[in-house]
Amino acid sequence: MKLNIVPVKKGLTWVKDGIRTFWRQPLAFTGLFFLFMAWVSLLSMVPVIGSAMALLILPAATLGLMVATEQASLGKFPMPTVLMVAFRAGQQRLKAMMVLGVLYALSFLLVMALSALVDGGAFAKVYLANAPITPELVNGADFQMAMWLATILYIPLSMLFWHAPALVHWYGVPPVKSMFFSAVACWRNLGAFAVYLLAWAAVFVTGATLILTLSGALGGNDLTAAVLMPGALLMAAMFFTSVYFSVKDCFDLPLPGSQTEA
C-alpha cells in the first residue's frame, strides 16, 4: 500500500471522472443510489436504534458504490448485489468493516451530541429522528449555530473515514489504522480535495440554478418541486461515483476483484 501525493488539479479530474463514469451507466448508478438511500431510510425507521443502525452500515454501503464505479470504469454493468460486497469479503474483512461502521456511528453521534449542547438537540432531532422542521426553527440563532458546528466538526470526521472502507476492503488494514491513513491521505492531498469539494459545490449550485430556472419557466412552483429533489439526488449519485477516483489516485488500489494485505 502506497500513499500518493497528487497535483492540486487532480481534484477537478476526480469530478470529471465521476460524472463521466456515471453517464456510462446512468440507469445502473441511479438504481444503485436509490437502493442505497432506501437501505439507509428503512433502517432509520427502526424505533430507537434505527438511526445508529443506518450510520453503522454507511461505510459498507459506500464501499459498494466504490466497487460499482470500479466495475463501470471497466465497461461492466454493476448489479445491485455490488452494494453487499463488504458482506461477501470473508469473515475477517466483514468484522473489520463492522467495527469501522461502529466507529463511524459513534463519531457521528458524538458530533450530534456536541451540537445539542448549543440548541438543546433541535438540530440533532431533525437530522436523526426526522423531527418536524419549521421556518421558525430553521431561522433560530441556536439552530443555525448548531448546524454550523456540526458541519465544521464533520470535516475531520469525513477525513478519517473517506478512504477507510477501501483500505479495509482492498488491503485488510485494521479499522483504526485505516482511519489514520485516511486522514493522512486527505491532509497530504488537501489542495486536491479542496478543489474537488469546490468543484462539486459549483456543480450543485449550477445544477440547482438550471433546474429552478427551467422548471419555473415551464411549469411554475409545482414543476419545480417535482424536479428539484430528483435532480439533487442525481447529482448526489454522481458525487458518490467520483469518490472512487479520489481513493484510487491517493492509494495504489489492487487490481479489480483482488484483495491484498497491508
Sequence ranges of the domains in the chain: 10-250
Residue pointed to by grid coordinates 456510462: 24
Q: Where is 43: in which H helix or E strand?
A: helix 26-44
- Residue showing cell 469530478: 15
> Residue 29's closest CA among 75, 77, 86?
77
Whether residue 233 has pLDDT greater than 80: yes
By CB neighbour count within 10 A (0-12 exposed, 13-18 middle, 19+ buried), where does 29 fall?
Answer: buried
Residue 251's DSSP bridge partners are 3
C-alpha–C-alpha distance, residues 170 and 177, integer Å:
14
The grid coordinates listed for 88 are: 461477501
pLDDT in tens, 5-57: 999 999 999 999 999 999 998 989 988 988 888 888 888 777 768 788 888 99
Q: What is the mean pLDDT of residues 220-233?
A: 68
Tens of pLDDT, residues 101-124: 999 999 999 999 999 999 888 888
Beta bridge partners of 3: 251
Reported pTM:
0.87
Rounded Cα–Cα distance for residues 62 and 165 (Å) = 8
* Top-confidence residue, 232 or 63: 63
pLDDT of residue 257: 53
Percent of the chain exceeding pLDDT 70 equals 91
Of the candidates 79, 63, 70, 67, the one whose C-alpha atom is nearest the C-alpha of residue 27 is 79
Instruction: Summarize the confidence of residues 209-233 as an average pLDDT.
Output: 70
Could you give the count of Cα atoms lying within 13 Å of 26 in the half-sphere of its Cβ? 6
Residues in Cβ contact with 241 at an 8 Å cutoff, skipping those fewer than 6 apart: 18, 19, 21, 22, 29, 65, 68, 69, 72
What is the distance of C-alpha 255 from the center of its chain? 23
Section 151-165 average pLDDT: 94
